Structure 1
Amino acid sequence: MYDSLLEYYRQKQSHLKIDADDCVAMVSFKGIDQPQPVAAKLLHLRVMNNSLPRPLKQIDKLAPKERARLISCFWKDSGSDLLGCGKPPVAQHFWFPEKKRVIKLLPPTLQFSDGVTLPAPQKRDYRKFQEHYRQRFPLLHKVGCLNTPPLMERIIHFAIPTKITQEVRGSLIRDLTGHLSRLTKKTITPKLVPYKTLDEAFLELKGYNKPGMVVFVFDDEAPETYYKVAYELSNWRVKRITSRELENKFGRLESVSNHDSSQLSKAEREWKSFTEMSALDVLQQMDCVPWGFKDELPYDAHLAIDVGRDKRYFALSLLILQPFPHIYTVVKPKTDAKKETINGTVLNENIIELFNKVAQQNDFQPIRSVLVLRDGRKSGNELKAIKTTQEELITTGILVAGAVVDIVDFHKSSLKKPRLWEKMQRNRVEQILEGEAFFLNNRAVVLATTGAPTLNQGTAAPVMLVGQSEDIDMVQVTKAVYASTHLNFSSPSVAQRLPLELKRTDDELKNRDSQEIRRIQ
């Protein structure tokens, strides 16, 4: 026992240099019933990122230079004897791959409508990469989508609360349908669905004979509202916009128009960007293809296999690359929600069904090669099921005889969360230029799909590819995955971290999760 807290610190923790005038805080500890007094200056406040206010959400995004500095300081303060006396010292330098293990890729040449192409940069250069991204949307706006479905829906419903003013409502409908008409080269007709309550909107939309495309503006940003919209309109294609987002974007435009003409052009650009990005989301839901690839890629098709966060559903996304990219995605329930693995028979049946759907298209050609990307690590008997599927698809003529099917584990993240940056001359640290990859061994590749020039916050987080098939060419796999990230239809001026096929499975599983959460409430 000690006479006081100060006495305890002086006798047992003298190196902490606690003084009689230092403040004291009461702290709860696991396993101790009552809060205990602690010198307040020893405490550090930890606030999780999801609890931060909106202006501070990006505070954990460390630029490469700052990240490298903080890590260096940490190791310097920790010393090299972290494992204990007599144990091997800890190296305090950053790891870098041997040059012979590194490959550096260029963005692909993109094919637009009317025979227009956007050539690949001639060399790996920051400004040339930047220009390649910047030209995508202007070219798309000029020539329109590479492909639009012949039976594409021409009516877009706009479900908007009646409390939204006529001016805001009219501007959204006019500008969004204008973008869609130009990009599809077809006349898009808007249909307004004003509502006072969500149930009122659901009732009217469900009254139509055929579900279609709806831009749904709703008041509440609470998760349950988002889930309710997803659940009630599960057969519709829905683009969601919150009233707050809409009114903030338009309110800024209206404010500067009336009071500050010097800021008008910036506000107009922000509103235009908002409606353009919304139009791109709608385009994809309508199965339009903004652009494709001029040159043939290593594989005719990519198949992504992904399992939802709660393991209740899995998704398949089949990207066919010729004559132009078109993608088909399905979400199915899993037979065992306790395991990551997908039942082999169920996986086989659903892959066959997906390929059969693709084979019914008029422009279908038998497929010579398929890249299978399994998000995470292949589990259970999935590998055997994929091989069985390959044989069946060859028998039916959907795959050519001798078709190559390469299977790769795709790791979006890992427990260690590695980051990549470039160390330049004079020890200058900069963001890595995207498209750089290095081999850990003959089957494992780390690929930077983002980085300079479009990653402006944080440090590049790579993905990892691990080949599972025999005689697999991981250089070709890496080229194929990197090329697919350039189908960045949602935001053409910014690099996309995931290949399109995995981005779709990711998006669809999140959407299905939202419906399930609504169902159990």
Structure 2
Amino acid sequence: MAVFTFDNNESANYYLIRHGLPDWKIKRMTEQELRRKYRGYSAFKDGRNKNGERNWNAYVDLITYDVLEQLGCLPFVPDTKLSYDMHLMIDVSSRHTHLALSLLIFGQQMTVPNSTAQVKRKTDPKQQETINPVFLKKYFKELFQLHKDTIRQNGLQSLPVLRDGKDCDREFSAVQEAIAELKTEGVFPQTLSFDFVEYRKSTLKEVRIWELENGEIHNALEGSWFSIDRTTVVLATTGHSTLHQGTASPLLIKNKYTQANLKKVLQDIFVTSQMNYASPGVAQRLSYCAKRADDELQDKAGQEVQRIK
């Protein structure tokens, strides 16, 4: 792990640092921001800035939380138990060059969760969002084989697979085959159940949720949802208590291939969206696995040479 302070006069420095340290976890801080925050703290000690100490401590806290999260350390967990023992998010980068698998393990008997995120290069970037099923199956098995002891020791029995964006049936078949083989190999118990749902962060037509009360319009409460049809629901993970401008941007969850209990899926997505470690004072729209996958893909993008199209 490296906490890296650098001069940000050149935007390319972000990519140079990431590209030069590909096997490191990096927390980047700009020299300009560090100096500005510390000037405020110095002014507080001199009696010239009453908010300087608070701003400095908040700055240090955010850096510390981000370092902890990158190291895989979870400083707090929700008191609410999850409906599923394991959660897996599958995501593809915006430039379709890499895919990420983000796993959270938090069984009923576990007091401390386990999390892992892996990024793999896509073999077929021209197919955009679609993932080659052969490689998806391979990466899926490799990820869970790393955690076979944890799965066995805690008797983990359930798994939702969340596919960020639109999936295709070939991917579901690849996941189905991988799970069957992992059961045969003893990594998963024979009784393990899994669900496969689409987790859409954006849609072609933006959907919004609000409450009308005494003639005034407010954001709905966090965790509010409504059903479009029997397989599609819209969930607001942020809302009235955490947003002070605009309307909440909800998620669209679609169940296509398994008979998932969507209420349980929604509850777990909402609860894990509270696991916002990098900035705990700010509402997080995405679930923990989705946020980790996003962060890993953005970090990987920082290692690539940026070309003008």
Would you call these one fold, judging by a TM-score over 0.5? Answer: yes
Amino acid of the residue matched to residue 249 of structure 1? Answer: K
Distance 2:88 2:178 in 1: 12
Name the counterpart of 1:312: 97
Amino acid of the residue matched to residue 285 of structure 1? Answer: Q
Shift of 1:291: 1.8
Shift of 1:440: 0.7
Q: How many residues align?
A: 305
Q: Does the 8 Å CA contact 1:367/1:398 hold for their aligned counterparts? A: no
Distance 2:168 2:11 in 1: 32
Name the counterpart of 1:485: 273
1:432 maps onto 2:220 in alignment: yes
Shift of 1:409: 0.4
1:280 maps onto 2:65 in alignment: yes
Which secondary structure does the structure 1 equivalent of 2:28 belong to?
Answer: strand
Distance 1:247 1:364, change over 3 A: farther
Distance 1:362 1:384 in 2: 23
**Which runs of structure 2 are paired with 1:435-474 in the superposition (5 Å)?**
435-474=223-262
Shift of 1:389: 1.0
1:343 maps onto 2:128 in alignment: no
**Which runs of structure 2 are paired with 1:363-378 in the superposition (5 Å)?**
364-378=153-167
Which secondary structure does the structure 2 equivalent of 1:338 belong to?
Answer: helix
Q: Does the 8 Å CA contact 1:315/1:505 hold for their aligned counterparts? A: yes
Q: Does the 8 Å CA contact 2:7/2:32 hold for their aligned counterparts? A: yes
**Which runs of structure 2 are paired with 1:119-518 in the superposition (5 Å)?**
213-258=1-46, 260=48, 263-264=49-50, 266-322=51-107, 323=110, 324-339=112-127, 340-361=129-150, 364-379=153-168, 381-425=170-214, 427-517=215-305
The C-alpha deviation readout for 1:60-95, integer Å capped at 9, x for no partner, is: xxxxxxxxxxxxxxxxxxxxxxxxxxxxxxxxxxxx
Q: Does the 8 Å CA contact 2:6/2:30 hold for their aligned counterparts? A: yes
- State the identity %: 37
**Between structures 1 and 2, the one with greater helix share:** 1
Shift of 1:294: 3.7
Distance 2:121 2:153 in 1: 28
Which secondary structure does the structure 1 equivalent of 2:302 belong to?
Answer: helix
Which secondary structure does the structure 1 equivalent of 2:58 belong to?
Answer: helix
Distance 1:409 1:253, change over 3 A: same
Distance 2:296 2:153 in 1: 25
Which secondary structure does the structure 1 equivalent of 2:303 belong to?
Answer: helix
Name the counterpart of 1:182: none
Distance 2:252 2:218 in 1: 21
Q: Does the 8 Å CA contact 1:331/1:508 hold for their aligned counterparts? A: yes
TM-score, scaled to structure 2: 0.93
**Which runs of structure 2 are paired with 1:48-63 in the superposition (5 Å)?**
none
Amino acid of the residue matched to residue 229 of structure 2? Answer: N
Moved more, 398-407 or 301-310: 398-407
Distance 1:449 1:237, change over 3 A: same
Amino acid of the residue matched to residue 469 of structure 1? Answer: Y
Amino acid of the residue matched to residue 298 of structure 2? Answer: K
Amino acid of the residue matched to residue 136 of structure 2? Answer: L
Distance 1:318 1:361 in 2: 13
Shift of 1:293: 3.8
Distance 1:451 1:352 in 2: 37
Q: Does the 8 Å CA contact 2:211/2:220 hold for their aligned counterparts? A: yes
Distance 2:23 2:12 in 1: 19
Shift of 1:446: 0.4
Shift of 1:494: 2.2
Shift of 1:420: 2.2
Which secondary structure does the structure 2 equivalent of 1:483 belong to?
Answer: helix
Distance 1:452 1:376, change over 3 A: same
Name the counterpart of 1:98: none
Distance 1:469 1:476 in 2: 16
The C-alpha deviation readout for 1:176-214, integer Å capped at 9, x for no partner, is: xxxxxxxxxxxxxxxxxxxxxxxxxxxxxxxxxxxxx11
Shift of 1:342: 0.7
Distance 1:492 1:296 in 2: 19
Shift of 1:221: 5.0
Q: Does the 8 Å CA contact 2:148/2:188 hold for their aligned counterparts? A: no
Distance 1:443 1:217, change over 3 A: same
Greater relative contact order (Cα < 8 A, sep 6+): 2
Distance 1:433 1:362 in 2: 35
Uncovered stretches (5+) of structure 2, i.e. residues with no partner = none
Q: Does the 8 Å CA contact 1:438/1:447 hold for their aligned counterparts? A: yes
Distance 1:481 1:384, change over 3 A: same
Distance 1:236 1:470, change over 3 A: closer
Distance 1:399 1:281, change over 3 A: same
Uncovered stretches (5+) of structure 1, i.e. residues with no partner = 1-212
